[in-house]
Structure 1
């Protein structure tokens, strides 16, 4: 049974799936794991499941030991991982590309509506409880119907 160290909170269904087949040591606190705690926990790990908050470098890889086979980063990026150091030690690195594509598109649409309809500005007025008076053009904003939108990159 492989020893898997999970360095932060991940979805419970994923954690349960890992536990069915592996000996899992998971950091389940809401705050990020400290570097000192991380260096202690990785000793003897066959695999690491990391978050973008953890720096995976030579020091961490050495602390884990030569039996370490993989580092799986629960993030689109992997700039927290020293890939050459992993390659040098024959440690496979994986990430979760594409996991945020739909969410990014949703947020882009929300931001477009917020700007055109002045939603953030209106929210600030309401929260400030500053007296205001209705006017034909007060906080009017504009719609997006009939507009053209240029998209560069398509979320990738």
Structure 2
């Protein structure tokens, strides 16, 4: 029976599914694996179910010709923490869990849009502080979302799900920045320039995968092109947004607000960002619903099963 490591405590249904097929060891920590643990795992286990922060680099693999570990099933859609090219060179298959996360992540994007535009985080802090003095006509005036312009960076599954919710739910006009044109189920304008779209949009949502090409895609120039009331939302990966430039834009009033579920140096969140009242900050809740996490686990286990059965891996990425 193949030996599989689960790098974090997983939902009970995921553990049961894995144990029905494999000899399973569960790493009893919620923190990412250390480089030493990654190297040990590559040598000791036949496969590993990894997740966000479990970094597999070319350096970690360089001590191996072909490691014992032949399969890395990523628990999550984003896999920029795994060097897929290095894995391929060392005979290691990598998979992810697309599809299962789409609706849940899009829902969190809507949560952040509404919370940021309507100042909900700031408002809740006011009530909890005991300093609220009652309703009045100019109390905490925010931005009305309905009928506004939405700019989506990356019109993949999640980007399209966000656009559909915003257009059909709130009557928002949709624009998008993407490498290629998309055949969409809603009217949308494609922009060739990200700065042009940033200047056009009232709300800018980052939904593009993380890669070398998208690192700091949203930089000082993009933030500088946004309207003073413009809101930025990131539900993709933290390093797509240049965090220092974002903090500067918030401090100077260059943009109206930001809603973040991810951070450039996660889980570290700069004190300067926390200090901004117009920043809504969530602890990476994109897929934080039990049924979604169970679906992700089922996909990851199926990817492992297929690999060791000699079948095509449904969600192979390398």
| TM-score strictly above 0.5 | yes
TM superposition score normalised by structure 1: 0.79
User: Take 1:140 and 1:148, find their aligned partners in 2: how far apart are those partners?
Assistant: 16
Partner of 1:110: 111
Closer, same or farther: CA 14–77 of 1 in aligned 2, 3 Å = same
Q: Tell me the equivalent position of 2:21.
A: 21
Superposition pairs of residues 88-99 of structure 1, within 5 angstroms: 88-99=89-100
Instruction: State the SS of the aligned residue for 2:85.
Output: helix
1:23–1:130: structure 2 CA closer, same or farther, 3 Å change rule?
same
Distance across 2 between alignment mates of 1:136 and 1:19: 59
For residue 97 of structure 1, report the CA deviation from its aligned partner.
1.7
Which stretch of structure 1 is more off in the superposition, 2-11 or 34-43? 34-43
1:64-143 matched pairs, under 5 angstroms: 66-130=67-131, 132-139=133-140, 141=142
CA deviation string 1:67-87 (max 9, x = no partner): 322111112111111112211
Checking the alignment, whether the CA contact within 8 Å between 2:43 and 2:69 is kept in structure 1 is no
Structure 1 Cα separation of the partners of residues 18 and 97 of structure 2 = 16
Measure how far apart 1:142 and its partner are: 6.2
Which is worse superposed, 113-122 or 12-21? 113-122
Runs of 4+ aligned structure 1 residues displaced above 6 Å come to: none
Runs of at least 5 residues in structure 2 that lack an aligned partner in the other structure: 160-318
Q: For residues 75 and 15 of structure 1, do their structure 2 counterparts lie closer, same or farther at Cα, with a shift above 3 Å needed?
A: same
Larger radius of gyration: 1
Cα 1:33–1:151 shift into 2, 3 Å: same
Q: Deviations over 1:98-126 (max 9, x none)?
A: 33321222122222332443322211211
CA RMSD of aligned residues (A): 2.7
Q: 1:13 to 1:138 in 2, by over 3 A?
A: same
Q: CA deviation at 1:53?
A: 1.2
Residues 34-89 of structure 1: per-residue CA shift (max 9 Å, x gap):
33344334433111111121111345444696332211111211111111221112
- Name the stretch that deviates more: 20-29 or 37-46: 37-46
The answer as to 2:40 corresponding to 1:40 is: yes
Long gaps (5+) in structure 1: none
Q: Could you tell me which residue of structure 1 aligns to residue 6 of structure 2?
A: 6
Q: What is the TM-score normalised by the length of structure 2?
A: 0.43
CA offset digits 1:126-145 (Å, max 9, x no partner)? 12322524323323556555
Whether the aligned pair in 1 keeps the contact of 2:47 and 2:72 (CA below 8 Å) is yes
Moved more, 61-70 or 117-126: 61-70
